[in-house]
Structure 1
Amino acid sequence: MGLDAYVACNCVKEGKAKKPPFDESLLVWKQGFPYLDESAPDGWCSLLYDPWRETACEHPDFYYFSDRVYNASGHLFYNGIMDRLGKGTFPHLDAVWRSSFTPDQAEAAMQDLERLESRLGEVEGVFLVDPATGKEYRDALTGNQNWFFSAGAEYTYILNEQGFNILGPEGEVWFRSLAFSQEIIRTMVDGKESVTAVFRDKATGQEQAGGSTFNWKTWGVDELEYPAFLEVVVRPLCLDDVYTLIVLRKLLEAVIDTGNPIVWA
């Protein structure tokens, strides 16, 4: 689950794009994008329109800007920040998500965004970090918790300001740590490799064995990452922690530059 967004360029309107391989009168405009009219002959869309749209100008598919705004956890993180600082304090930015938002409101929304960015330090976040690289794998807001793995009814992994927690089926705490190592155990079961982990608390030496690993998938890379050591860090938020805000700024800049609306997908 996630949300993408994009803003169209004006290259066709401004005569900067290659001419289409069909009569331009067959183009219809929707949300700033030129589409092929439904009256065009069958097959023209895939044979003529799609290849033209992909390469007609410096913006593939006429996307002046496009990006993923958030995934499910990012949505919760962003909404949590807005709830703490008060959505009513940023009415123009909150309106960005509504279908009634128009390009002439972008300047006011940008001012709200700048005020929100200046206040991020008022909110504290909880981060699961590899201290060797500084890479942050999971996040939550203080007072909330990020549930990010469940082995059915057996156990659940949760991050909050108390630490990295492994909870049993009745919510009992099996393991809790603010700094811990992860030992990866590889065994063969019925001809297939089984990968499990032993978590070991740095301060007490407590171990929790036999559970699922903490791993990370990087798109385009086949091998999973298994961090050897992780720490829970609680600190004030900064802009780099909230990718949604970075994308919103670029979307609003694109709206201001082009006069075209944000399209949510």
Structure 2
Amino acid sequence: MGVDAFVYCRCWQDGRTPPAPVGPVGFDEEGHLSLLVSGHEYTEADAAFDGWIASACPHELMEQAGEHLANWTGYRLFQQALGAAGWSHFPTLRAELPSANGGRMPAEAAARVLHELDYFEQRAVIDDEVVLVDEATEAVALTYVAAYQGVLMLGPGYRAGVDPEGFFILDPDSDPPATLFRSTRFRQRVLPGGQVQFSDEEKSVRIAMSPVGGTGTPPERLCLRTRHQSPAAFGYIVEPLRRLCRAAMTTGNPVMWC
């Protein structure tokens, strides 16, 4: 799951498609090309419309561009970098980037976004990244996301994550949430019965939760690192945004967030 976006082509708008087999067809209130009389249940008319969308022009689903921008963590990290560089440099991105799935950005905003992306890549100064790494390999296990208050792992009876003060595990059932464990350098050991032992020089706890470190063999020793970060690290989202903006400028159609 994450943030995706697309821009419609102009084939239908410019009369370069065969007529829709059902109708009326047009852009709905949210900006989607739709069968305007569609009801709550999926009907044969909806199926005929979907088939027409899929085959009426050379563009897949009548999209001039379609992009996956990032999962939600990667998306929030990009917003975090923009904020660190100064939102005053990115007024259009601040106004137009979605806070949730859905919505649209008007085509006239695309040129301004491209200009702001140029500034981000060429001139922005952003914060160092705060990460929890496998001490043996330096592989990143967790990255601090300010929008989540550092919390990246959650389950029954625990919330865990990393912030500038280290790795932490909270008890969400207490008010306020109690800190069960916090450390900048520690060892984890997977125990039988779904428990994990976390220990450093001062404390050792056993908690029923998933181990830190994703799939495969969990790292045994982890530590906090602060590492230099450059705007180039965000090419995964900057380049798709550029392609969407160029498509919006070409077609005059909005960027549809989804």
For normalisation by structure 2, the TM-score amounts to 0.70
Supply the distance in 1 between the matched residues of 2:69 and 2:119 (Cα, whole angstroms): 23
Q: Distance in 2 between matches of 1:182 and 1:15?
A: 63
Is 1:250 equivalent to 2:250 in the alignment?
A: no
Q: What residue is the counterpart of 1:232 in the other structure? A: 224
- 1:174–1:96 CA distance, 2 compared to 1 (3 A): closer
Q: Give the match for residue 159 of structure 1.
A: 162
Q: Where in structure 2 are the equivalents of 1:93-112 lying within 5 Å? A: 93-97=93-97, 101-112=105-116
1:262 aligns with 2:237: no
Trace 1:159-178 onto structure 2 (pairs within 5 A): 159-167=162-170, 171-172=178-179, 174-178=181-185
Cα distance per residue 1:217-246 (max 9 Å; x no partner):
7xxxxxx54532444321232333575545
Q: CA deviation at 1:205?
A: 9.2
Q: CA deviation at 1:111?
A: 1.0
Q: 2:67 — aligned with what?
A: 66
Aligned length: 243
Q: 2:142 aligns with which of 114, 138, 143?
A: 138
- SS where residue 122 of structure 1 aligns? coil
Is 1:185 aligned with 2:184?
no
What are the ranges of 5 or more consecutive residues in structure 2 without an aligned counterpart?
Answer: none
Partner of 1:191: none
**What's the CA shift string for 1:27-79, capped at 9, x where partnerless?**
32458754334299x934333111232344454322321325552x4564344
For 1:209, the equivalent position in structure 2 comes to 206
TM-score (norm 1): 0.68
What is the deviation of 1:115?
0.7
Distance in 1 between the 2:151 and 2:117 partners?
A: 28
- Correspondence for 1:8: 8
Deviation of 1:159 (Å) = 0.5
Within 1, Cα distance between the matches of 2:8 and 2:254?
Answer: 8
Q: 1:139–1:59: structure 2 CA closer, same or farther, 3 Å change rule? A: farther
Amino acid at match of 2:111: E
The 5-angstrom pairing of residues 70-85 of structure 1 reads: 71=72, 73-74=73-74, 76-85=76-85
Partner of 2:198: 199
Which letter does structure 1 place at the counterpart of 2:5?
Answer: A
CA distance 1:184–1:242, shift in 2 (3 Å): farther
Structure 1 unaligned residues grouped into runs of 5+:
187-193, 218-223
Asked whether the equivalents of residues 2 and 69 of structure 1 are also in contact (C-alpha less than 8 Å), the reply is yes
Deviation for aligned residue 1:124: 1.6
Deviation at 1:184, TM superposition (A): 2.2
Cα distance in 2, alignment partners of residues 242 and 137 from structure 1: 21
Other structure's SS at 1:48 match: helix
**Correspondence for 1:190:** none
**C-alpha displacement of 1:6:** 2.1
Aligned partner letter, 1:93: L
Shift of 1:216: 6.7
Distance 1:181 1:10, change over 3 A: farther
**Counterpart residue number, 1:88:** 88
RMSD after superposition: 4.0
Residue identity in the other structure for 2:184 = S
